[in-house]
Amino acid sequence: MSNAAITVLQGDGVGPEVTEQALQVLRAVEAVYDHAFVFHQGLVGQDAIAAEGAAISDATFEMCARSDAVLFGAVGGAPSGRADGGPRPEQALFRLRKEFGFFANLRPVRPAEPMYGASPVRPERLKGTDMVFVRELSAGLYYGHLESVPGKPSGIDRTGPDPKAVDTLTYTGQEIERVVRTAFGIAARRGHRVTSVDKANVLSSSVLWREVVEEVARDHPTVDHEHMLVDTCAMELLRNPARFDVVVTENLFGDILTDEASVLAGSIGMLPSASLGVRRVEGGLFGLYEPVHGSAPDIAGQDRANPVGAILSAALLLRHSLGLEREAAAVEAAVEEVLHRGYRTPDVQESGRTVVGTRDMGRLVRDTLAQA
Ligand code: IPM
Ligand code: MG
């Protein structure tokens, strides 16, 4: 029996409603498999800014630190541009990712066969698609503004007649190595193929990235690897998605390519993610689990959001942080079964399918889990 502590941060927009369904699925897992998880709730994003003055307060952060895992919804409001001014909801994510050392963001993309019709990509191209993105998550352009290099690495200089903006892309060898090792480790347990994505024909950070990949590859003789330029990868993802097994890339490339890859699964609402570092907890690695989609304020509170990405994120939590592989697989099987029976949220609606809301989708998954 697991008594793991899980901090739940629902966040903004559709975050609360999809996270609620993921939470209910974890409660169903408790009941079926006789666990007693301990849940804590905290504020994050816009509500935290309003109530506590920061996108994530120190108290909430400490609560996460004392947990085995964090289940995260979404943060963000209407796009407001980049911030020179007050706190932004996204800062909560950046703080969690950076301070907990979550350098590896796993984003599996495995379109279920009954979902093929929901993707604009033809079924014969989708067939066999089963890949995991390993996105570097704690360095690169996202963190240029935190580095202590001279000359303020990120910001806008408005002193001259023509304003000038700068962002800095830095990677150290170690920052590259740890995420690349994670990718090779995962590949060694699945399809034995790593595609490393970069822009080595232009960027110095990518030249270093390739050198490190070559070094790590020497330690993994059973894993094949290739280098692919990011623009080529953007094309190959739609042209021939089944060719990929494990794809490893830097932070911003990974952000962009995984949104693109989500169309293979029918909708970004379908995709889960796990953010992992090195800290061990009883069942595995301390981690943060969130759907790949954002806060989608335009559909918030309407029972229209797809909870599958959040529910599958809870499955990853069971697997990676709690060591409950059987339970994780059961949740994934329940989701697949519900999709197989033709239930769809509006984002992946097709003719001949039964459209359901966020809550009903969650309930169907729980019922299926309980019956299995
Ligand atoms: C993601 C999101 C975030 C990111 C945003 C909300 C800052 O797009 O997790 O992919 O860019 O990392
Ligand atoms: Mg993104």
Is residue 345 within 8 Å of 305, Cβ to Cβ? Answer: yes
Q: Using alpha carbons only, what angle is made at residue 167 by residues 162 and 173, rounded to the nearest 5 degrees?
A: 155
Q: Which of 250, 265, 280 is the last residue of a domain?
A: 265
* Residue type, position 321, single letter: S
Same domain membership, residue 337 and residue 226: no
Instruction: For residues 291-318, give the mean pLDDT.
Output: 97
Ligand 1 site-directed mutation target among 46, 80, 82, 90, most atoms within 8 Å of CB: 90
Same domain membership, residue 297 and residue 351: yes
Indicate the pairing of strand 343-344 with strand 354-355: parallel
Q: What's the CA gap between 60 and 9, in Å, rounded?
A: 9
Same domain membership, residue 70 and residue 34: yes
Q: Using alpha carbons only, what angle is made at residue 165 by residues 159 and 168, rounded to the nearest 5 degrees?
A: 130
Ligand 2 centroid, distance to 221 Cα (angstroms): 33
Write out the two tokens for 123.
């079924």
How many Cβ atoms from other residues are within 10 Å of residue 342's Cβ?
Answer: 13
Check residue 78 and give its pLDDT. 64
Ligand 1 centroid, distance to 368 Cα (angstroms): 31
| Res 82 pLDDT > 60 | no
Check residue 157 and give its pLDDT. 86
Ligand 1 contact, 290 CB (< 6 A): no
Positions marked active-site: 142, 199, 231, 255, 259
Ligand 1 contact, 255 CB (< 6 A): yes
| Res 149 pLDDT > 90 | no
| Res 83 pLDDT > 60 | no
Ligand 1 centroid, distance to 342 Cα (angstroms): 30
Q: Which of 244, 265, 286 is the last residue of a domain?
A: 265
The residue behind tokens 């193929």 is 193
Ligand sitting nearest the alpha carbon of 260: 2
Q: Note the Cα 34 to chain centre separation in Å.
A: 28
Same domain membership, residue 308 and residue 258: no
Is residue 111 within 8 Å of 49, Cβ to Cβ? Answer: no
Domains held by the chain: number = 2
Give the atom of ligand 1 at the shortest distance from the alpha carbon of 259.
10
Ligand 1 contact, 13 CB (< 6 A): no
Same domain membership, residue 314 and residue 239: no
Name the least confident of 105-109, 139-143, 188-192: 139-143
Same domain membership, residue 281 and residue 324: yes
Ligand 1 contact, 294 CB (< 6 A): yes
Same domain membership, residue 348 and residue 333: yes
| Res 291 pLDDT > 50 | yes
Write out the two tokens for 320.
């990676």
The residue behind tokens 């709730």 is 41
* Residue type, position 30, single letter: E
Ligand 1 centroid, distance to 102 Cα (angstroms): 14
Render pLDDT for 318-334 as a digit per residue (tens, 0 to 9): 999 999 999 999 999 99
Q: Which of 248, 265, 282 is the last residue of a domain?
A: 265
| Res 146 pLDDT > 50 | no
How many CA atoms lie within 13 Å of 247's alpha carbon, on the beta-carbon side?
Answer: 30
Residue whose CA is at the smallest distance from ligand 1 atom 5: 90
Check residue 348 and give its pLDDT. 96
- The length of the chain is 372
Same domain membership, residue 46 and residue 33: yes
Same domain membership, residue 258 and residue 304: no
Render pLDDT for 227-250 as a digit per residue (tens, 0 to 9): 999 999 999 999 999 999 999 999
Domain of 200?
120-265
Same domain membership, residue 355 and residue 273: yes
Q: How confident is the model at residue 66 (pLDDT cuts 50, 70, 90)?
A: very high
Ligand 1 contact, 12 CB (< 6 A): no
Ligand 1 contact, 90 CB (< 6 A): yes
Give the atom of ligand 1 at the shortest distance from the alpha carbon of 74.
6
| Cross-strand pairs, 6 | 39, 69
| Res 32 pLDDT > 60 | yes
Give the atom of ligand 1 at the shortest distance from the alpha carbon of 105.
9
Domain CATH for 282: 3.40.718.10
Ligand sitting nearest the alpha carbon of 44: 1
Ligand 1 centroid, distance to 250 Cα (angstroms): 13
Same domain membership, residue 244 and residue 292: no
Specify the pTM: 0.95
As a whole-number percent, the residues of the chain with pLDDT over 70 amount to: 96
Same domain membership, residue 311 and residue 203: no
Ligand 1 centroid, distance to 273 Cα (angstroms): 11
Instruction: For residues 60-76, give the mean pLDDT.
Output: 98
Write out the two tokens for 276.
């992992």
- pLDDT, greater one: 325 or 79: 325
| Res 155 pLDDT > 90 | no
Ligand 1 contact, 20 CB (< 6 A): no
| Average pLDDT, rounded, for the chain | 95
